[in-house]
Amino acid sequence: MITSKQFLDHLNARRVRFCAGVPCSYIKAAITALEADRRFVYVPAVKEDIALGICSGAYLSGANAAVIMQNSGLGHVINALTSFNLIYKIPVLMFVTWRGRGKDAPEHEIMGAKTVSLLKCIGIPHRVLSGDYKRDIDWAMRLMRQRRIPVALIVKEGLIK
């Protein structure tokens, strides 16, 4: 388990200080901490593609940005990722919660089963965020700098408290 403080401290150390997102109970504690932490700017969004657009704009203004979303929101960002971020080389760190694995609401089952293959299909590098979160975030940041594309870290339930 990762505490929200540890998670935010590492994002801050990697100069990721601008975030936008759509809430998810899997990462609720981190979002609450993010909203309260003066080191960060957090913009709540009503849809995932809006959050991605906000973070893309932040990158274009010189910030390292992260978008937070449920995997169900991947459907809302596919067009933006494939017709904007990937084409114009706009990297954004994506934290995608992995709903639909194990006991969850039925509406999450299909996307839960397809999350990894969907990211692979559209060419978004990804890995499941692990207890070695520093290594995972550093991998994502390195890849974003090298390839200048979005990178997704998939967040399982209960990992960040």
- Which residue has 């998670």 as its token pair? 7
- Residue range 55-84, pLDDT digits in tens: 999 999 999 999 999 999 998 999 999 999
Strand stretches in 54-140, DSSP E: 64-70, 93-97, 126-128
Beta strands in the chain (DSSP E): 16-21, 41-44, 64-70, 93-97, 126-128, 151-155
The pLDDT tens digits for 104-150 are 777 778 888 999 999 999 999 999 999 999 999 999 999 999 999 99
Which class is 4-155 in CATH?
alpha beta
